[in-house]
Amino acid sequence: MRRRDLRRVMAIEQMVFPEPWTQGVFVSELSLRKGRAYRVARLGREMVGYVGLMFVEDEAHVTTVAVAREHQGRGVGTQIMLGAVRIALEEGSRRISLEVAVGNERAQALYRRFGFAPVGIRKGYYQLTGEDAYVMWAYDIHTPAYAERIARIEEEEAQRT
């Protein structure tokens, strides 16, 4: 992700989140070269989604992930999460976490596919709506068993297209 991508990032952000990040937050995150990774997903020339990661020691945390509404349900989120896991592994992460709205069952299903499981709840995490968030973790992403999980997902996605 680059600053020039922010116009489309902000459009997607406004489209999919009740409490979108501001452009200033994205600019700030992009300026933190160490300990962060932000990537966009494209179909052809069109940006259709993005992901952000933060790294602390051997942990990765998904700070944001989004897919444009018109591209949801088409495997874009799966491709974004495959990329996120690859980046986390390249950074030496052994586990990865994220927060997801309790009511966002579609996203939770995607994350469960990647081995994430809820380990706690952040009450009132989303200030505007007051909705709680699950804290989800995928542990041992560096292991052969997790590599097999990722290989299965990649194979399923290859068959789907």
Catalytic positions: 99, 111
Order of strands across the sheet that contains 46-56: 36-43, 46-56, 59-67, 95-101, 133-138, 117-122
Distance, CA of 122 to CA of 83 (rounded, Å): 26
* Nearby residues of 76 by Cβ (< 8 Å), 6 or more positions away: 41, 43, 48, 49, 67
Task: Give the number of other CB atoms < 10 A from CB of residue 144.
Answer: 8
Helix (H) or strand (E) holding 44: none
φ/ψ of 55, rounded to 5, equals -120, 130
